[in-house]
Amino acid sequence: MSAEHYQSTYIQEQFAARIGGSNYGKDTNIYKFEKIKRAKAAAKKAHPDVELIDMGVGEPDEMADAGIVAKLAEEAAKPENRGYADNGIAEFKHAAAKYLKEVFSVDGIDAETEILHTIGAKPALAMLPTVFINPGDVAIMTVPGYPVLGTHTKYLGGEVYNVQLTKENNFLPDLNAIPEEIAKRAKLLYLNYPNNPTGAAATTEFFEQVVAWAKKFNVVVVHDAPYAALTYDGIRPLSFLSVPGAKDVGVELHSLSKSYNMTGWRIGFIAGNPLIVKAFGDVKDNNDSGQFIAIQKAAAYGLENPQITEAISEKYSRRHNRLVAVLNEIGFRAEKPKGSFFLYVEAPKGIVGGQRFESAEDFSQYLIREKLISTVPWDDAGKFIRFSVTFIAQGEAEEARVIDEIKRRLTDVQFEF
């Protein structure tokens, strides 16, 4: 029996208002990622012999390092690792503290009280509002961005105040433009650098401003940093916690998903203010029973070997270089990001003498339909599309071929920017 069948039963009447109440599932709006999925399926059907180049995927194209996989196999075989992990093992916490010191020069993190493992950054973002948000409280989010903390804030009867990330402001939020009335009601400020989708990086000066602003308005800062170690061209990875006073105002979320090609493994950590970490631990303890100890041990091995991430960064850096060069030849104004695997470029206005693109989504749909190139559009603050350099390609020659193919497909039309 299908889900639709049950829409006519009492089950449909029982849904909570936060997910749409009795209207749940009847919304005819199709969400962005579903539209992309459908357009990809239609394009493949229309052109079964043409390779679909997928630049839309937000996760690594390769598997985890062989040493990490071997460690998992070894630890998974030990009977003592079989049980509930609860709020985590000391070995992982110590590896995380050492990683913060080695990669980000963050001193003085107490592994016992200031770090806790998470089953990835996403569930941590989903739980943090439970720690802080009462009905009517505000969470400040940045758009375009990763919405999970805002979604849960709304689930709890809180409000979301969106701050736009614009090119003019280097995709950093202008904290001074947040109305005082909002700042005073805000409990949480969500930040994410290097940023998904803009690829922008924060600066020490910006983080210093964040600390001062948070102290002025008594706001808790959540810095979501799953891309923090993926930086390019000698730019040092930057942690919010490396800025004086950061630990007084907030926490940072790290994840092995992107920096260690471990999206499916579900492991990361929260670090920072010990009182926030403690309260988060209490809420977490009521949500999950911890990640499998063998995964924590394999992840600890990964954190002790940050050169694994450096090799991954080198690959993305090389891919970004090629893609930026090709897009600029075509007429885009592409700039290599400081970090992350995302390249965020302004969509063209249209095709010279032809079709107009009213939105980034319009352009992205055109790229899938006509060129079999998949990207993700963002219309929240200007019209941009996001390329991800995690496209499938084994080795440099194959990478070059894929990017040359993009160039070939996009040079038979002239875009108007």
Question: How far is 1 from 362, CA to CA, in rounded Å?
Answer: 36
Geometric angle at alpha carbon 219, from 217 and 225, rounded to 5°? 140
Cβ proximity to ligand PLP, 130 vs 348, nearer residue: 130
Cβ proximity to ligand PLP, 237 vs 348, nearer residue: 237
Cβ proximity to ligand PLP, 166 vs 263, nearer residue: 263
Instruction: Work out how close the CB of 306 gets to ligand PLP at its nearest, in angstroms, rounded to a whole number.
Output: 17
Helix (H) / strand (E) element for 366: namely: helix 360-371
> CA Rg, the chain, in Å?
22
Instruction: Work out how close the CB of 36 gets to ligand PLP at its nearest, in angstroms, rounded to a whole number.
Output: 15
Instruction: Work out how close the CB of 173 gets to ligand PLP at its nearest, in angstroms, rounded to a whole number.
Output: 15
Question: How far is 237 from 230, CA to CA, in rounded Å?
Answer: 7
Instruction: Work out how close the CB of 37 gets to ligand PLP at its nearest, in angstroms, rounded to a whole number.
Output: 16
Provide the terminal-to-terminal Cα distance of the chain, rounded to the nearest Å.
50
Cβ proximity to ligand PLP, 255 vs 375, nearer residue: 255
Which residue minimizes CB distance to ligand PLP? 120
Q: Is 344 exposed, middle or buried (0-12, 13-18, 19+ CB in 10 A)?
A: buried
Cβ proximity to ligand PLP, 122 vs 284, nearer residue: 122
Cβ proximity to ligand PLP, 192 vs 313, nearer residue: 192
Instruction: Work out how close the CB of 192 gets to ligand PLP at its nearest, in angstroms, rounded to a whole number.
Output: 5
DSSP type of residue 157: T
Q: Which two structure tokens, joined as six digits, stand for 327?
A: 């897009």
- Site residues, ligand PLP (CB under 6 A): 58, 120-122, 146, 192, 196, 224, 226, 255, 257, 263, 268
Instruction: Work out how close the CB of 157 gets to ligand PLP at its nearest, in angstroms, rounded to a whole number.
Output: 23
- Alpha carbon 94 to its chain's center: 25
Q: Which two structure tokens, joined as six digits, stand for 265?
A: 């493994």
Instruction: Work out how close the CB of 348 gets to ligand PLP at its nearest, in angstroms, rounded to a whole number.
Output: 26
- Phi/psi for 388 (5° steps) reads -115, 130
Cβ proximity to ligand PLP, 89 vs 262, nearer residue: 262
Q: For residue 152, give the 3-state DSSP assignment.
A: helix
The strands making up 186-191's β-sheet, listed across from edge to edge, are 115-118, 268-272, 250-255, 220-224, 186-191, 138-143, 159-164
Question: How far is 316 from 323, CA to CA, in rounded Å?
Answer: 10
Instruction: Work out how close the CB of 283 gets to ligand PLP at its nearest, in angstroms, rounded to a whole number.
Output: 17
Cβ proximity to ligand PLP, 122 vs 319, nearer residue: 122
Q: Where are the alpha helices (DSSP H) in 47-115?
A: 66-76, 90-104
Q: In this structure, is the dihedral angle defined by the CA atoms of residues 44, 34, 317 and 118, taken in order, positive or negative?
A: negative
Instruction: Work out how close the CB of 266 gets to ligand PLP at its nearest, in angstroms, rounded to a whole number.
Output: 7
Q: For residue 163, give the 3-state DSSP assignment.
A: strand
Cβ proximity to ligand PLP, 295 vs 372, nearer residue: 295
